[in-house]
Amino acid sequence: EYVWPTKYDHFEDMLVMHSGYRRFGFGDLVVPCSFGSNTVGRQTAAEWVRTAFHDMATFDHTTGKGGLDASIMFETESGENAGTAFNSTLSDIWEFVSPRTSVSDMIALALVASVASCGGPEVPLRLGRIDATEAGPLGVPEPQDSLETIQADFDRMGLTTEEMIALVACGHTLGGVHSEDFPDITGPEDVSASNVPKFDNTHAEFDTAVVDEYLSNKGINPLVFGKNETTNSDKRVFGADGNVTMHKLADAATFSSTCAEVFEKMINVVPSTVTLSEPIQLVKVKPYLDTFKLNSDGTKFEVELHVRLRSTKGKGYESPPSSVTIDVLDRKGNRTSLQAAHATLKGGQSYGFFSETFDWYLLTTELDVAAGAESFKIHISTSEGEEVLDNGGTGGYPFNDGVIAGTQSCLDTTGTQGNVTFDLYSAVRSDLVQDLDGAPWVSFAHRMPQQGAVTPRIVVEKISMAEVTASVDGYKFFKGKATTPSSGWSTRYDLGITLKDGKEVTREFIRTPSTSC
């Protein structure tokens, strides 16, 4: 059962909240499938799918090396990765990379989002991929390769002939071949950005056209019907088992379910040292503690709390609850019920792929610092009765009032050329200060440019904080300094304390401040 918070909460947000209230906008780049963030002759959704394949295609199942590990970042100059698609995909996902999101997990998400946006099936998404720090071996099949070579490549990746056929057909239902990168395939007559012969007549629809056109021997796929037989690799691949698999794939439902299976298998091909999470499940009731801070005189906690209810047909609260109440437990054992209101901006709803809808409730309140804030439960009243959610049986959703982000945190741009310094403050509950094992800390995620790659690397630095003289009743203040290249100033940090009994209390994934010191 889901217990809040998890390190993948942010990922689940990116996966599902594409429009409406509190949208994350990751899907915008591939919506609609035919355009997205396209430029002439380029289809972003197709590029994202191709990038996932090329990154994964170097896997060797005998050594467990390679696979979806973002090593493509360092391999874009190699011949088997012709075209600008890879760097363009990596630039697209750049701003979403964080200490909680590896580039390789983002590539997997990119595939899932593209397939969804183009009308394809839901591909389950597991997380936990770890990024390579250098180029891996080569190994992406190329159009001029013989069937034996291509089969040997897929065999090395741990995929059967049937899976090979399906994966190529599922991939090549989108996009086409760029004349600028493959003039030998498209012909020398018109080599231009806009000349991109497509794999089928519906290149922006995730459908069986690529299969149908192949089977009827009447189509436009440049890797099937190309004048140059040498580069007709799709023709060789599709016919590898005497068209048995292609005939199966001609059925729309089979095509859809098979593509979901082989895509899932493809994005889960990871180095043997990586353990992936369970597939991300959409959470039915999810809280967001957006603000939890001390007011100016330190007597109150200022709280802004959202609750997101899934309202997707058949999967959530289809008719709006009559009330959503937050039941707050203070440190003295007292409970207070506070009513959350349906959010009003953009109708208080957000939307995702596969007709997902969510309804948002908001509570803005102040709580007494003297009483403390332990945890909260969520009460939801519907026509069927009242439901009390206690965070998957844990007794409540924690406020974690042991460590609070200091609002004094600020950005100092006057430092060394090209760098910025942050003064980061935390408030630590006074009764915990005597139990500290070492100083309170900041875990700061630097976004460091990396040589040979367009995507930065996340380097996490643990910084000790020192006590400052200011304090309020119940809390002591600490300060730490982090310096980072100004190009990567917008990042995240965690605050934490380690107690003598080994327990850690943290407040995580805080945005760096933009106000100047």
Site for ligand HEM, rule CB under 6 A: 43, 46-47, 49-50, 53, 83, 85, 141-143, 150, 167-168, 170-172, 174-178, 181-182, 233, 237
The answer to whether the CB of 81 falls within 8 A of the CB of 138 is no
Q: Which of 389, 406, 417, 432 is nearest to 485 (CA)?
A: 417
Question: From the CB of 199, what's the least distance to ligand HEM, in Å?
Answer: 7
Structure token pair of residue 148: 């034996």
Question: From the CB of 173, what's the least distance to ligand HEM, in Å?
Answer: 8
Q: Which is nearer to ligand HEM, 173 or 311 (CB)?
A: 173
Question: From the CB of 97, what's the least distance to ligand HEM, in Å?
Answer: 22
Question: From the CB of 263, what's the least distance to ligand HEM, in Å?
Answer: 7
**In angstroms, rounded to a whole number, what is the distance separating the alpha carbons of residues 45 and 32?**
9
Distances (CA, A) of 252 to 164, 207, 371, 457: 18, 7, 61, 41
> What contacts 24+ positions apart, CB below 8 Å, involve 286-290?
286/2, 286/4, 286/9, 286/12, 287/4, 287/376, 287/378, 287/397, 289/397, 289/399
End-to-end CA distance of the chain: 43
Q: Which is nearer to ligand HEM, 182 or 475 (CB)?
A: 182
Q: Which is nearer to ligand HEM, 149 or 413 (CB)?
A: 149
Q: Which is nearer to ligand HEM, 180 or 412 (CB)?
A: 180
**In angstroms, rounded to a whole number, what is the distance separating the alpha carbons of residues 475 and 276?**
39
Q: Which is nearer to ligand HEM, 175 or 321 (CB)?
A: 175
**In angstroms, rounded to a whole number, what is the distance separating the alpha carbons of residues 350 and 219?**
40
Question: From the CB of 142, what's the least distance to ligand HEM, in Å?
Answer: 5
The answer to whether the CB of 107 falls within 8 A of the CB of 89 is yes
Which amino acid, 107?
A: I
Distances (CA, A) of 502 to 184, 435, 437, 497, 499: 63, 10, 8, 10, 5
Question: From the CB of 175, what's the least distance to ligand HEM, in Å?
Answer: 2
Q: Which is nearer to ligand HEM, 83 or 128 (CB)?
A: 83
Q: Residue 434 burial by CB count (10 A; 0-12/13-18/19+): exposed, middle or buried?
A: exposed
Question: From the CB of 96, what's the least distance to ligand HEM, in Å?
Answer: 20
Q: Which of 374, 406, 373, 397 is nearest to 293 (CA)?
A: 406
Q: Which is nearer to ligand HEM, 79 or 502 (CB)?
A: 79
Question: From the CB of 495, what's the least distance to ligand HEM, in Å?
Answer: 42
Q: Which is nearer to ligand HEM, 168 or 465 (CB)?
A: 168
